[in-house]
A = this chain, B = another copy of it.
Amino acid sequence: MTAATNRRVLLRARPVGEPKATDFEIVDAPMPTPGEGEILCRTLWLSLDPYMRGRMSERKSYTASVELGQPMVGGTVSEVTTSRHPDFATGDIVLGYGGWQTYHVARAGGTPGPFGPLKLDPKVAPVSTALGVLGMPGMTAYVGLLDLGQPKAGETVVVSAAAGAVGSIVGQLAKIKGCRAVGVAGSQSKCDYVVTELGFDACVSYRSPDLATALKDTCPRGIDVYFDNVGGDVLRAVLGLVNPFARIPLCGLISQYNATEMPPGPNLAPFLFNRITLRGFIVSDHVDRLPSFLADMAGWVRGGRIKYREDVVEGLDQAPRAFIGLLRGENFGKMLVKMG
């Protein structure tokens, strides 16, 4: 890449099953030029998130697919290199939605959502956190657990993908609310981290030979809130242990994102007998909660009550491999690409 080009990762082919390296193409494109009211941004950090798998597919989802030949989408933290908007200056750090590329142009002004463009103050927190604990994943945990899960002190909260960007925050929020927090994760080292570093009460591996028994042992008073990031077998095991009036915020279904045929869901009898509320949600529907989230979460992070971990790969060229690994559960904490 020279200074005059913009390196981009394009969607070359729609994946069948697990994405392959050849589903992506890395190209050097001409530099974009900002128009009036726009800013040119050089990406410092690119966020990799499971929802991006849906964008690669033509299957119906909540937003449009990435077109073939277009860059992959994604949240970014960038430095402004050229500004044609009075509110932004060269050198400003901004949260945006620049996608998998080194440069992008953003229209400034308007009301910033969870994806900006929003000016960041590097003195408040490391700017990468705007893509994690203080960004979309953190707000997903906040809205999903607190608003939809409605945990009450003394209740048991279970969260899957517990060492991930969202799950790790969910369990810590549950502890702040006085709940028992139990994680489900993919390895013993993740479980150890979640308990020892993050303060969860327990964590079980979804690879346990008998997940239902392992969960039962760690949830002696049943399960009141299950924050679901994965669907599949973990959800089935949880449904055997839920208490009456349990709440299930449904945040993700990563167990099926690479599936070529949609697998069946769990039998619904427990939903009826236990009067369960299951609620699918997407954080961008809850932008009104952004100020509360930022105030609360920044305070908890500063006070050491919420910890976070970043899993960083270096260089845009690594993004496809890191993303494929993310879908396999190989990441450990918030997956980020640090740009060159």
User: Which A residues contact B (CB, under 8 angstroms)?
Assistant: 59-62, 231, 235, 244, 250-253, 256, 262-282, 285
Contact = CB atoms under 8 A, between A and B. Distances in A.
Contact of A271 (B244, B263, B274, B280): B280
A62 B265 contact: no
Which 3 residue pairs of A and B lie closest in terms of their CB atoms, listed nearest first? A264-B264, A265-B265, A271-B280
B271 A267 contact: no
Number of copies: 2
A280 B274 contact: yes
24 contacts: A59-B269, A60-B273, A61-B273, A62-B272, A62-B273, A62-B274, A62-B275, A235-B268, A253-B269, A253-B272, A256-B267, A256-B269, A264-B264, A264-B265, A264-B267, A272-B282, A273-B280, A275-B279, A275-B282, A276-B280, A277-B278, A277-B279, A277-B280, A278-B278
B268 A231 contact: yes
A275 B281 contact: yes
Contact of A267 (B251, B262, B272, B278): B262
Nearest to A268: B265
Contacts of A275: 62, 279-282, 285
A62 B271 CA distance: 11
Contacts of A273: 60-62, 280
A152 to B, nearest CB: 17
